[in-house]
Amino acid sequence: MKPSLLSLFFTLINYNIHAKGLASIMETQKMKAMVPARLTQTWTTMGSTIASFMFVCAILSQYCPYELRHIIRRFRRWLKNNSYPYIQIAIHEFTGEKMRRSEAYACVEAYLSSNTSKTTQRLKAEMETEHSNLVLSMDEYERVSDAFQDAEVEWVSSKVVSTKSTRNEQRFYKLKFHKRYREVITKSYLEHVIKQGKEIRKGNRTRRIYTNCSGYKWSHTVFEHPASFETIVMDEEKKQEIIEDLLAFRKGKDYYDRIGKAWKRGYLLYGPPGTGKSTMIAAMANLLNYDVYDLELTAVNSNADLRKLLMETTGKSIIVIEDIDCSLDLTGQRKKKAEKEEDKCYEKKQEEGNNSNSYSSKVTLSGLLNFIDGLWSACGTERLVVVTTNYVEKLDPALIRTGRMDKHIELSYCTFKGFKVFAKNYLNLETHQMFDKIEELMARETKITPADVAENLMPKSSLDDPERCLLNFIHALEEVKVKAATSNKAESKEIEPAKGSKAMEKLAATNLIFKIFNYLV
Ligand SMILES: Nc1ncnc2c1ncn2[C@@H]1O[C@H](COP(=O)(O)OP(=O)(O)OP(=O)(O)O)[C@@H](O)[C@H]1O
Ligand SMILES: [Mg+2]
């Protein structure tokens, strides 16, 4: 068949579909009530007549002189516009080159599930997590009507299934309305739908934690961490200051706009292992109701991949880089000679197609800083970036200067005051005769982390009553004290012969061994 005849055939089908579509609109509940059955039949007949007429016009247009064909084409356009007075707007689930889930689609879905679930006959029910609510939404190919001011509209949920794979479905909502309502629908109704949808989504939102285990792509799961600022044990004043800072940031859109600064803030959490850095990040996410992006820098191959990942993050989120000193070489020189050599080696490996995971990350400090300062500010708002480290002194001052890491928070060893909060939370004890002994042990600079306090106070079996837990804790404190005394003794022994250069070397080596020993213990 010639292509022109094929197009004629499709034109005919198109007009028939329009005619049937018109009839099916009439079948929706609201319109049914308004339009009598006879009128529906008239429309259907008229639709078929128009389709046949169009078919004849199309044949004529193929075999007539150019001028006549032009007139027929114009007439056909006029007829189409007047015989099918409806406008359709499609809102697809995935858009753009990267096929990101469309915010508009999500808002329409939320709006329709809340506003039309009482009138929809076929619904689907979904529950994202075991603790979240059951969310009802329109099932596929379902139609619902809605009214806004004096305009009647119809929503249809539909999907396109790829011929290559049935798993590759593209869902979309189609909004149909009479063209006389064009202004009100495009200017006010859609705005109203998106606004209401956003509000509903805020209420239903289940937070997510994203991670880039596969390198350049985020994968996510539901974020359900029970941490809160109430259960974090630290200096009360410092805690309040952090909470206020976070809440001020969340409310700060207008302020950031006014001062011409991107709406983002950097936090640096530092302190020994087990002092609550990761727990605090979870508490921050819970307080602000933000998503978490846990960025594993060692899995990122290049600065370009890092940028791609960060640009894909959404607003209302915390981007976390844990143990940054272990992920990057951050010791001051941003690009050392050895690093340059490694770069060459890496490029060679890439050329050979040997891009193994064992090869270390090629993300550089300057790549990270460039993003935080440059592109970072331009793409997206309302993001916190939180960096953690056990060794703040190892970090390049350029990374942690104000503007990049605006707030520095030190988390440290547990004090007696902190222990009392743990005892209240874990054992429901406000006071106990063993507290004096504990206070005495803790006063002598016994460095015990909150993680160790929590572990020792936690009952391990039904036989563990509060006394037993406190005894466990006293044992742990005594052990820490003995270890500290042994390491101090060893250090002071090494200091004495430290006059000659050989002795200096020996001291350095022993110190290193003890440091490693302490770290491991
Ligand atoms: N300040 C704290 N308040 C309450 N619990 C704490 C605190 N610090 C640590 N914990 C407890 O110790 C456990 C370990 O803490 P967390 O993982 O947050 O430490 P961290 O500082 O991130 O350690 P690392 O530096 O090794 O990553 C937590 O599950 C929590 O129960
Ligand atoms: Mg941690």
Does residue 180 surpass a pLDDT of 80?
Answer: yes
Say how many Å lie between the CA of residue 369 and the centre of ligand 1.
28
Q: Does residue 374 have a pLDDT over 80?
A: no
The answer to whether the CB of 418 is under 6 A from ligand 1 is no
Q: Which ligand sits nearest to residue 271's alpha carbon?
A: 1
ipTM of the complex: 0.98
Are the C-beta atoms of residues 58 and 136 closer than 8 Å to each other? no
User: Residue 503 above 80 pLDDT?
Assistant: no
Q: Which residue has the higher pLDDT, 477 or 348?
A: 477
Q: Which of 72, 41, 78, 34 is nearest to 55 (CA)?
A: 72
In the chain, pLDDT over 70 holds for what percent of residues?
Answer: 72
Cβ pair 250, 316 in contact under 8 A: no
What value does the mean pLDDT take over residues 282-297? 93
Nearest atom in ligand 1 to 390's CA: 25
Cβ(389) to ligand 1 under 6 A? no
pLDDT band with cut points at 50, 70 and 90 for residue 247: very high
Q: How confident is the model at residue 378 (pLDDT cuts 50, 70, 90)?
A: low
Burial class from Cβ neighbours inside 10 Å (0-12, 13-18, 19+) for residue 134 reads exposed
Query: Atom 8 in ligand 1: which residue has the minimum CA distance?
Result: 276
Average pLDDT, the chain: 77
Cα(326)–Cα(134) distance, rounded to whole angstroms?
42
Domain borders along the chain are 3-84, 87-205, 209-410, 416-520
Residue 386 has pLDDT above 90, yes or no: yes
pLDDT score at 130: 63
SS (H, E, C) 464-512: CCHHHHHHHHHHHHHHHHHHHHHHHHHHHHHHCCCCCHHHHHHHHHHHH
Atom number, ligand 1, closest to the C-alpha of residue 388: 25
Q: How confident is the model at residue 349 (pLDDT cuts 50, 70, 90)?
A: very low
Q: In angstroms, how far is CA 443 from the centroid of its own chain? A: 43
Q: Is the pLDDT of residue 100 over 50?
A: yes
Average pLDDT of the segment spanning 319-331: 79
Assign 408 to helix, strand or coil. Answer: strand
The pLDDT value recorded for residue 493 is 60
Does 276 sit in the ligand 1 pocket, CB within 6 Å? yes
**CA of 273 relative to ligand 2 center, distance in Å:** 7
Q: Is 275 in the pocket of ligand 1 (CB under 6 A)?
A: yes
Nearest ligand to the CA of 422 is: 1
Digit-coded pLDDT (tens) for 455-494: 999 988 877 888 889 998 999 998 888 888 787 766 666 5
Ligand 1 pocket mutation pick from 275, 279, 452 by most atoms within 8 angstroms of CB? 279
Report residue 359's pLDDT band, with 50, 70 and 90 as the boundaries.
Answer: very low
Q: Among all ligands shown, which has an atom nearest to the Cα of 451? A: 1
Ligand nearest 449 Cα, by number? 1
- Whose C-alpha lies nearest to ligand 1, atom 12? 451
Question: What pLDDT does 142 receive?
Answer: 86
Per residue in 111-168, pLDDT tens? 988 776 667 778 777 776 666 667 777 888 888 888 999 899 999 998 887 666 555 6
Ligand nearest to the CA of 411: 1
CA distance 113 to 144: 11
> Residue 95's pLDDT is what?
75
The response to whether residue 274 sits with its C-beta less than 6 Å from ligand 1 reads: yes
Tell me if 495 sits within 8 A of 486, measured CB to CB.
no
Checking if the pLDDT of 518 tops 90, the result is no
Ligand 1 pocket, residue 314 CB under 6 Å = no
Q: Is the pLDDT of residue 256 over 90?
A: no
> Given a cut of 60, is residue 38 above it in pLDDT?
yes
Report CA(276)–ligand 2 centroid distance (Å): 7
Ligand 2 centroid from CA 322, angstroms: 7
16 Cβ below 6 A of ligand 1: no
The closest residue, in CA terms, to atom 30 on ligand 1 is: 451
Task: Give the span between the Cα atoms of 229 and 283, in whole angstroms.
Answer: 6
- Residue 11 clears pLDDT 60, i.e. is over it: no
Q: Which of 230, 236, 275, 448 to mutate to test ligand 1, by most ligand atoms within 8 A of the CB atom?
A: 275
Overall average pLDDT of the 404-416 stretch: 92
pLDDT of 500 > 60? The answer is no
How far, CA to CA in Å, does 459 sit from each of 88, 140, 260, 421, 466? 64, 52, 52, 16, 8
List, for residues 53-89, the tens digit of each pLDDT value: 777 767 766 767 777 777 877 887 787 777 778 899 9
Instruction: Classify domain 209-410 by CATH architecture.
Output: 3-Layer(aba) Sandwich (3.40)
pLDDT of residue 121: 78
